[in-house]
Amino acid sequence: MLLTGKKLLITGVLTKRSIAFSAAQLAQQEGAEVVLTSFGRALPITRRIAEDLPRPCEVWELDLTQPDQLAGVADKLNAGWGELDGLLHAVAFAPASALDGNFLHTSWDDVARVMQVSTYSFPALTRACAPLLAAAGGGSVVGLDFDASQAWPGYDWMGVAKAGLESCCRYLAHALGPQGTRVNLVAAGPLRTRAATAIGAFDVLKDTWTQRSPLPWNETDATPVGRAVCALWSDWMPAVTGEVLHVDGGLHAVATAVPRDADRPARQAAMVVN
C-alpha cells in the first residue's frame, strides 16, 4: 500500500466533508497510522468524527497559535512514535469582517488574526515537528491552499493569507530541504466544507468552476484532494518540494474566455455562419 508504516499528524478535521477527513480516511486505507488534532469547542466534534474513520484514532488538543501546545504535541509524538513521516496543515480562519467585500474596511486586529491562524501557523507547526520529520528521514509537510495568483470575489484577506502561505511553502522548502523534508501545498477548487461556506460568495466561486473548469468539478467530493495529499506524503514524489499542486479540475490553467467543451460546438457553428 502507498503509505504502509507512515506516521501522520493531521489537523483540521471538523466534519466528514473536511478535506482533512478525506486525507485521514485515505491514508489509513493506504496503511498509515494517524493522529488528529483539534481544539476548543471543535475538539469533542473531532473526537466523534474520528470514530468514523476506518480505524478510530487519537485526537489531541492543539491550538496552532499557542507555542506551548505546539511543543506539547511534538513531545507527545516523540514519546509515542519518536519520528513523524508527514503532517497536514488544514487550518484557516477569517472573521466576517475580513471577507465578502470588506477588504478596505478590515481592522488590523482582524487582519492579524487571519494571518496568524491561516499563514504563520504553517511554519510554526512545521518548525515544532521538524526534528521528528528529520528522524523519519525527512518526511513530507502538506498544507491546503486556494489559488492565490489572482483575486477572488469575497475571498479578500483570506486570499492575502493564502498568498503568504504559498510564500511560506517556498521558504520552508528551502530551509528544510537539507534535512530531506519536502514541503508542498495542494490548491483545491471550491469544496462545500464548513469553512468555505462561511464565505458569502461561495456560490459565485462554485458557479465559476461549473462554467470554466476543463474537467467536471464536484464541490461536495473532497476525495480527489485527499488523494493528492496522500500522494505527496508517499515516497512516490521524492523530488517535489516548494510546489503548489492544483487539484481544481484545471481551472487555474485556462483563461476566462476559454469555453467549456459543451460550449464549443455552438460557438464553432456560429463562427462558420459568420
User: What residues act catalytically?
Assistant: 155, 162
Q: In the sheet that 243-247 helps form, which strands lie side by side, from edge to edge?
A: 59-61, 33-38, 7-10, 86-89, 140-145, 182-188, 243-247
Looking at residue 56, what DSSP letter applies?
-
Contact between 10 and 87 (Cβ < 8 Å)? yes
- Return d(Cα 254, Cα 79) in angstroms, integer: 48
Count Cβ neighbours within 10 Å for each residue of 58-83 and write b for 16 or more, e otherwise. Answer: ebbebbbbeeebbeebbeebeeebee
Contact between 172 and 243 (Cβ < 8 Å)? no
- How many Å is the Cα radius of gyration of the chain? 19
Count Cβ neighbours within 10 Å for each residue of 193-212 and write b for 16 or more, e otherwise. Answer: bebbeebebbeebbebbeeb
C-alpha distances (whole Å) from 27 to each of 33, 89, 234 are 8, 15, 10
